[in-house]
Chains A and B, each alone.
Chain A
Amino acid sequence: MKLKGAAMITAVLEKEQVDLVFGYPGGAVLSLYDQLYRCKLKHILVRHEQGAVHAADGYARVSGKTGVVFATSGPGATNLVTGIATAYMDSVPLVLITGQVATRLIGTDSFQEADITGITLPITKHNYLIKDVQELPDALSEAFFIASTGRPGPVLVDIPKDIFELEDQFDYTHRREIPGYKPTIEGHSGQIQRAVKAINAAKRPVIFAGGGVIIAGASAELTELAERGRIPVVLSLMALGAFPGNSPLFLGMPGMHGTVSANYSISEADLIIAAGVRFDDRVTGQLESFARKAQIIHIDIDPAEIGKNVAIDIPIVGDVKKVLQGILKRLQPGVTEDWLKKVEEWRQGNPLCSEKQTSEGGMKPQFVIREIDRLTPDNAIICTDVGQHQMWTAQHYCFRLPRTFLSSGGLGTMGYGFPASLGATLASPQKTVFCIAGDGSFQMNIQELATAVAYNLNIKVAIINNGCLGMVRQWQELFYGGRYSHTSIQGGPDFVKVAEAYGALGLRVSAPSEVAGAIEQALAIEGPVVIDFLVDAGENVYPMVAPNRPISEIIMGSGKR
C-alpha cells in the first residue's frame, strides 16, 4: 500500500491502538491536520502546547497507555519542552510528533525553525529527526516501543513539512527488536535469593516503594510482601496509591515533608527494601546519614539508578513486579511485632495537623483536603500542582489505589495539575477527577479552562488560595529571615469570575462550614467547576526536614524538633 507521510502517521497510530491525541496546529503540520480532518482519530485541541503534553501525560499516568501529542515547528515545539521534561523525570510514556521546516530549509534559520531534537536531547528517552519518508513508519513504531517499555519515557519524532506530503510504500511491522535497546525484565535469581534471605532475617525491615511499582503494576505484590512479611511501608510521592493508605502498615511518605514515623523508621531500620525508587534528594536528605543502620535491597528496571545516589547491598535489576513475585515465592511470614510496636508509637506520637481553623479564624488548607478526601470515592483521581497544596494533598488525602494520584514529582512543574486532569478524565471518564491547585500554579495553565469547557470535561478544580507562592514563602520564612521577596500574589484574578468568563461554574468558600457543601455541589454537576477556597496565608507544611539535613532531624509545626 502506498501512503503519504501524514497518512502513515494516522495509520501507525491506529496500529498502535491510539484512540486519542492532544495537540495544536500550525504551518508545519497543516498536512497532518488535513489528514486528521479525514480520519476518525479523536483529537483534543488545547489552548497551549504545554497543556497538550501535560494532558497526554495525565492520560498516560491514569490509563497506563502511551500519550500522544502533535505540535507545529518552532514555537509549537519549544512550548512542549517543560511538559516533556516533566514526563521524562517521572518516567511517563509519551510520543510527541512535531512538524519541522521543510527538509531543504533545515539549518538555514528559516521561519519557525527550532532544533527540537537538539533541544530535547537531554529530556527525552530518545528522539528522531526524519530525513526520508521511508524511515517514518519504523521510527514511529520504535518510538511507541521505546516510550512504553523498560523504564518508560517521552520519545519525540520531528518530521519536516515536505515529508508529510511525500508518498511511499507502507507495510507496517511492529518494531520490537532494536539493537541497542534490551531492558532487563527478569531479576537475577541468585540476587532474589539473597534478598529473600535478608528479608527473612531482618528484625527491623521497611519497604520503601516508588513510582516504579505503579508503572510495573506491582501493587498487589507489594501489598502481599508487606502483609506476609509484616513489614511497614513508606511510599515516595510518586508511589502514593501503590499501597492502601488506610492500611495499618502504611507510614506515609518519607523525606522533606514526610511523616515522623516514615523518617524514623528508615533511620532505625536494619533492612530497606527499595522497589522502583531512585533515592531522590527530597527523600534521602543528607546522603551520608540516610538509612545508616540498614542493609539496602534495591529493585529497579533501570540499572543506572542502582548505586547512583546510595550504595546498595543487594542490587536487583528487573521489572519490579517480576522480582517481587520471585521474592514472594520463598518469603516466610515475618515476625516483626516489636518493631511494628515501635513504629506505631512514632506514628501515634506525631499526628498530622487536624484542625479546621487557625486561632485567628483562618481556614486551614489541610482541612479542605481532608474534606475532599472524605467526599470523593476511593477511586477518585487527584491531580496536583506544585507547592504547599501538593504536599498537603500527599499528607492528608488517603490514596488507596494505584494511578489515582498525579503530580509532578521529579521536575516539580507548577501548572502541571490542571491540564493533567484533562487527560485523566479523558482516560477514565467515569471517575471523579479533582485538581488540587495553588493560586500561583493554576495561573500557569489557566487557559485550559477553555478546553475543559469546550469538551465539557468533568473536572473539579479546588484552588487552595493563600494569596501567595506559599512554598517559596515558607522557605523565606524559615531560611531567609522572613524577607518575603516577591512571593505575594494577592489581588490576583477573581477566580470565580474567571471560571464564569470561560463558561465554567465558579464557587467561593471562605469558612470551614461551607467546604462540604461546595464540594458536594461541584460533584453533582457534570462539567468543569472551579472552587476558590480562601485559606489562611500563613500556614506552613510540617513536618519538615531542612534541605541536605538528616531525615531524622525533623522540624515540627510548633517549632520543636
Chain B
Amino acid sequence: MKHVLAVLVENKSGVLTRVAGLFSRRGFNIDNITVGETVTPGISRMTITVEGDEMVVEQVMKQLNKLINVLKVSNLSLEPAVMRELMLIKVRAESQTRGDIQQIVETFRGKVVDVSLDSMIVEVTGNEDKLEAIKLLLQSYGIREIVRTGKIALLRGSKITREA
C-alpha cells in the first residue's frame, strides 16, 4: 500500500540528503518526494509517498524521527486528506487533433498553457487516478514529455500538522 507522509524539517543545508539517504540506505522505496516552505520561517515540509506494509511504514517513520533535523512525521493516509499533484504534459497536436485534445483537457478541468504548430502543453492537477486517466487518453495523440511535481497533501478539516 502507498502511504503519504508529511515530514516537517528544519531548513538546514543537507536535510534533503539526510532524508533521501535514509530511504536508500534502509531499502525503503520512495515513490515521490516534494519539498517546500511552510508558514513558519526556517521550517520546510516534505511530502513523501512511500510504498510498503504497515511494519515498513512504521520503521520509516521511526527512522525519520531519529534524524535530528526532522521535527515531526505524520502519516496522512490514515486520515481523510486532500491530496494533489500537478502534471505538465507536452502532447503532439496538429490542427486537426487540437479540438479533440482541448475537449479532453476540459473534461479533466485542465488547462492548455502553451500551443505551437505541432504540440501543446497541458496542465492538470488532481489525485493520482485522475492524472493517470488523462495521461492514458492523451497517449494516443503522442506524449512527448511529462513532468510531475509529486504529491502534496493536507488533512481535511481544521486539524493541522505542526512541529511537536
Contact = CB atoms under 8 A, between A and B. Distances in A.
A121 B26 CA distance: 13
Given A126-B68, A180-B67, A121 B55 contact: no
B70 to A, nearest CB: 5
Contact of A304 (B10, B18, B59, B163): B59
Interface in A116-147: 117-118, 121-122, 125-126, 129, 131, 146
A125 B66 CA distance: 8
A302 B62 CA distance: 9
Interface residues on A, range: 10 to 19
A179 B10 contact: yes
Interface string A167-181: 000000000001111
Contacts of B70: 180
A307 B71 contact: no
A121 B21 contact: yes
B18 A121 contact: yes
Interface residues on B, range: 20 to 34
Contacts of B62: 303-304
A146 B67 CA distance: 11
A183 to B, nearest CB: 10
A180 B71 contact: yes
Given A118-B17, A121-B17, A122-B25, A181 B59 contact: no
A303 B65 contact: yes
A125 B13 CA distance: 16
Interface in A173-201: 178-182
Interface string B61-101: 01101111111000000000000000000000000000000
A229 to B, nearest CB: 30
Contact of B71 (A129, A179, A303): A179
Interface string A259-292: 0000000000000000000000000000000000
Contacts of A561: none
A125 B22 CA distance: 12
A181 B163 CA distance: 12
Is chain A's interface secondary structure helix, strand, loop, or mixed overall? mixed
Contacts of B10: 179-180
A15 interface: no
B59 A308 contact: yes
A129 B13 contact: yes
Contacts of B59: 304, 307-308
A126 B68 CA distance: 7
B68 A178 contact: yes
A78 to B, nearest CB: 18
Contact of B14 (A129, A178, A180, A303): A129
Given A131-B13, A180-B68, 14 more contacts: A121-B14, A121-B17, A125-B68, A129-B13, A129-B14, A179-B10, A179-B71, A180-B9, A180-B10, A180-B70, A302-B66, A303-B62, A304-B62, A304-B66
9 contacts: A121-B14, A121-B17, A121-B18, A121-B21, A178-B68, A179-B163, A303-B62, A307-B55, A307-B58
